[in-house]
Amino acid sequence: MEIVVTGRHTQIKQRFRDVVDSKMNRVTAIAPDAQRAQIVVTFEGNPRQADTAKKVEITVIAGRTVVRAEASSTDEYSALDLALDKLTLRLRRTRDRRKDHRRGYTNPQPVDLGVVEPVEEPAVEEEPSNSPADAVSADLGPGESVEVQVGDTPIVIRRKLHIAEPMTIDEALYEMELIGHDFFLFVNKDTNRPSVVYHRHGWSYGVFEIDTPENVQ
């Protein structure tokens, strides 16, 4: 498995790279088909956030499956351990889910909340050139991303173009669990509408679908 370690606002020491190489055996033990692991270490310079000064994000690619986990701590070593714990748990769920499907197990059906009706927005004045609208208006190619700071504020908007095949609701729920998010944006294979699945409570999920008024009969 290829292992890539990069740092944001921090230098990556060789000792940390060696620790990563040794501990990633936990990943290959559960997912022997893993091809690539991307580890990103981010340093938060705000002294008020000393307890979470180092954040470690781990993304593992195994075929068409992407599993992701992240954690923050006082140093990169403990953050790595926490992120690995989350990652291995999700990898086990992935492995168990494959076994369940071979046995004919069906996931609980999510709660479909129907189509979200468009809401009319009040007219607003033109934003300056560093507005959120301008920040995400640039054309992007597949896989490209851009980050823009909004004016003098600490707000940073990151936009990325992701190309994905349409999928079913069940497949979207599966992908959401793998990356550890509370929601997942996808194109519904059955309706061809942009849709979002999200956690509600327990094992209950919701589904939002977006469409324009002229397409809704």
* pLDDT for residue 141: 67
| pLDDT for 37 | 92
How much is the pLDDT for 162? 75
- The CATH 3.30.160.100 domain(s) of the chain lie at 2-102
- Label residue 124 by pLDDT band (50, 70, 90): very low
Tokens of 186: 């996808």
Task: State the chain's maximal CA–CA distance in angstroms.
Answer: 61
Angle CA 70–72–78, to nearest 5 = 100
Tens-digit pLDDT profile for residues 35-65: 999 999 998 877 677 777 899 999 998 877 7
The strand pair at 36-43 and 2-8 is best described as: parallel
| Sequence-distant (≥ 6) Cβ neighbours of residue 176 within 8 angstroms | 182, 183, 184, 197, 198, 199
For CATH 3.30.505.50, the residue range(s) in the chain are 111-117+127-215
Q: What is the pTM of this model?
A: 0.54
List helix spans (H) across the chain: 14-23, 25-30, 76-102, 132-135, 169-179
Structural contact between residues 130 and 150, judged by C-beta atoms closer than 8 angstroms? yes
Fold of 111-117+127-215: SHC Adaptor Protein (3.30.505)
Structure tokens at 128: 């300056």
Q: With cut-offs at 50, 70 and 90, classify the pLDDT of residue 127.
A: very low
Instruction: Determine the Cα–Cα distance for residues 93 and 176; give it in Å rounded to an integer.
Output: 12
Kindly state the helix (H) or strand (E) to which residue 208 belongs, with its residue range: strand 204-210
Please compute the mean of the pLDDT values over residues 146-173 and round it to a whole number: 78
CB 69 within 8 A of CB 83: yes
Task: Output 15 or 131, whichever has higher pLDDT.
Answer: 15
pLDDT at res. 4 = 93
Q: Which of the four pLDDT bands, split at 50, 70 and 90, describes residue 101?
A: low
Please check whether residue 37 is in contact with residue 2, taking contact to mean a CB–CB distance below 8 angstroms: yes
Cβ pair 37, 73 in contact under 8 A: no
Q: Quote the CATH superfamily of domain 2-102.
A: Ribosome hibernation promotion factor-like (3.30.160.100)
Give the CA-trace dihedral at 208, 214, 216, 217, to 10 degrees: 180
Question: Which has more pLDDT, 114 or 212?
Answer: 212
Tell me if 207 sits within 8 A of 186, measured CB to CB. no
